[in-house]
Amino acid sequence: MSARRGIAALVCGLWIVAALAIDAGEAFPDAPRQERYLALVHELRCVVCQNQTIADSNADLAADLRHQVRDRIARGESDEDIKRYLTDRYGDFILYDPPWSARSAVLWVAPALLLVVALVVIGRVIRARSSELNQEESS
């Protein structure tokens, strides 16, 4: 296990920068597909260099995965199809944008929930302090 980790560290770590992450192939001639491609590769987690997206990772596997994404877009698959293809094989781990599911519901609900809670609590405090001020002033 540590030998595998060692190789991954050499490829990923902080050592190599971006060189192999650069695509050698042609970009899509039309903007919408190229945008989809760029958006997708910036959302998918590299399974070797696990702190980078496949767009930025030097690993061979990242290049292979980028090719997969490119080929599938060229074949007309939707973003959902492509993501499903990858999660069928690597699990939700490969998505940096956690999909809506029981496991990630907390994450997606939290921002709104916390805001609402904060607003409610603050509202109460302000109301109390406001009436305190009124009492102070009127007495």
| Residues between 64 and 83 that touch another protein (CB under 8 A) | 64-65, 68
| Member of 74, 78, 84, 96 binding another protein (CB under 8 A) | 96
| Smallest separation, CB 26 to another protein (Å) | 8
With respect to another protein, which residue has the nearer C-beta, 74 or 118? 118
Judge residue 38's burial from the number of C-beta atoms within 10 Å of its C-beta, 0-12 exposed, 13-18 middle, 19 or more buried.
middle
Of 36-65, binders to another protein (CB under 8 A) are: 38, 42-43, 45, 47-48, 50-53, 55-56, 60-61, 64-65
| Smallest separation, CB 106 to another protein (Å) | 7
With respect to another protein, which residue has the nearer C-beta, 65 or 73? 65
DSSP lists the bridge partners of residue 44 as 95
What φ, ψ does residue 130 adopt, rounded to 5°? -65, -45
| Smallest separation, CB 28 to another protein (Å) | 11
